[in-house]
Amino acid sequence: IGIRRIAHAALAAAAADDALVDPTVKFVQELRWRDFFAHVLFHFPHVATGAFRPEYDALRWRGSDAEFEAWTQGRTGYPIVDAGMRELRATGFMHNRVRMIVASFLTKDLGIDWREGARHFLTWLTDGDVANNNLNWQWTAGTGTDTNPNRIFNPTVQGQRFDPDGVYVRRYVDELAAVPGGGAVHTLGPLERAAAGYPEPILDHHAAIAEYRARRGL
C-alpha cells in the first residue's frame, strides 16, 4: 500500500471525526519520518552498519555482556524498560515511546553501542526495517542526522508519565502483576521487590548519566 494512500485515508477519516484530528496529525508526522529515513539510507547506505557521521563510530562504549543480557531479557530492575523488552519478545512489537526509553537506557545508562540494540531489535521486531530501526536508534544515541548527545530519558519519570497507573508494566512484567498501588509500581522499594521476586535496579540512573556526560565531555 502506497504511503500517499495511507496518509490521505487517515486525513479523510480525521476530517469526518474531530476526535481523530490530533492522533492523525501525529500519525502523518511519523509517516514523514519514515520517508525521511528511507531517503537517508538510500543516499548514505553506510548507515545500515554505522553512524551517519562516521566519526561517531569511534565513540567509546563501556557496557558489559552481562548488562546487555539483562537488558535483552527485561531484567534491568526498571519496570518500564523491562516491560518493553518483554513485550518485544512476547509479541514482536514495542510501543514507540517505550522504544525510545529502552534505547536511551541501553546507550546512555548502560553505555552500550547502539548497534547492539539495533541488531537485537531487528531480530525480534515484526515491523523491523533497517532505515527506521537504525536511524531511530541513532537519533536516541546522538550519532545520526540529529547528533544531540543530551537526549536522555529518565526511565522512572517516563514510566510515571506515560504509564501512570502501571497498566502496561503489569501486563508484561509478570512478577509485578499483583503489586498494588497503581503507579507505585514504578518506584518499588527493596522489600516490595524482594516480595515480588523482581530484581533491584542494575544501576543508579543519575550516577550512570553523570558518568555518560563525563565520558562524552558534556
Active site residues: 30, 33, 61, 96, 114, 137
Burial of 95-106, coded b for 16+ CB within 10 Å and e otherwise, reads eeebbbbbbbbb
Task: Return the amino acid letter for 82.
Answer: D
Task: Return the amino acid letter for 176.
Answer: L
For 107-152, the three-class secondary structure string (H helix, E strand, C coil) is: HHHCCCCHHHHHHHHHHHCCCCCHHHHHHHHHHHHCCCCCCCCCCC
Q: For residues 3 and 74, give the distance between their C-alpha atoms in angstroms, rounded to a whole number.
A: 34
